Amino acid sequence: MTYHIARGGQQIGVFAEEEIRSGLATGRFQAGDLCWTEGMADWQTVGTKIGAAVASPGLPPPVSQVNPYAAPQSQVLSNLPGLTPASRSTRLGASLLDMLTGIIGMGVPIGLGIFFMAQMERSGSKDVPAAAIACFGVAGLAFIGLTIWNIVLLTTRGQTLGKKWLGIRIVTFPDGQKPGFVKAFLLRSFVNGIIGQVVPFYGIIDPCFIFREDNRCVHDLLADTTVIEGQPPEA
């Protein structure tokens, strides 16, 4: 029984099984060398395959097809056939837009309310200005309105306002389905927010996970979700 032997991507010859066995003992052959003979689907290492039953001789496949040291191929994209993961920059942009929406809707009215309160104190008045009350009221209504709006968007479309504007959406991983209320809001936002209040530096750790190969943050792992490009299909 003979085997084709290859090392370093080059075939070095055809040798009898007994010769290879003795060569392993003397150092002529190495356990990591590749071997092939008729009946084998592909090259395998000498250390694990010598002694396998073979048939008549034939031509082996190219050595370049075999690399026992290659890292396993990524399954990230194959888990989402036809779907493209959103880029890190687009996800960052969507988060910044969500923050900006909150600042405009709540931060500005609150800032104005504080300004009117400061004016009251400087004037020595004891009466809370109506303008300050109105500003704080607007901020409260904006908070309620934005919260409800985002919950509805997350539940029905897998999007926040920022994600909707930039054309990305949340889907379940790995099947790419609509996440619904529990995954999109309850786990991904609410529970994740509670964890952020308890675990030190969680606000830094969570987004840093986006530099993984699959671009999934901790809140994605928590809810079994990911973010992809494209608007959701209309019902």
Low-confidence ranges of the chain (pLDDT < 50): 51-58, 71-75, 77-78
What pLDDT does 197 receive? Answer: 95
What pLDDT does 192 receive? Answer: 95
- Say how far apart CA 65 and CA 44 lie, in whole Å: 11
- Say how far apart CA 25 and CA 20 lie, in whole Å: 9
What pLDDT does 60 receive? Answer: 58
Q: How many CB atoms lie within 10 A of CB 124?
A: 6
What is residue 7's three-state secondary structure?
Answer: strand
Check: CB of residue 142 under 8 Å from CB of residue 106: yes
Check: CB of residue 68 under 8 Å from CB of residue 47: no
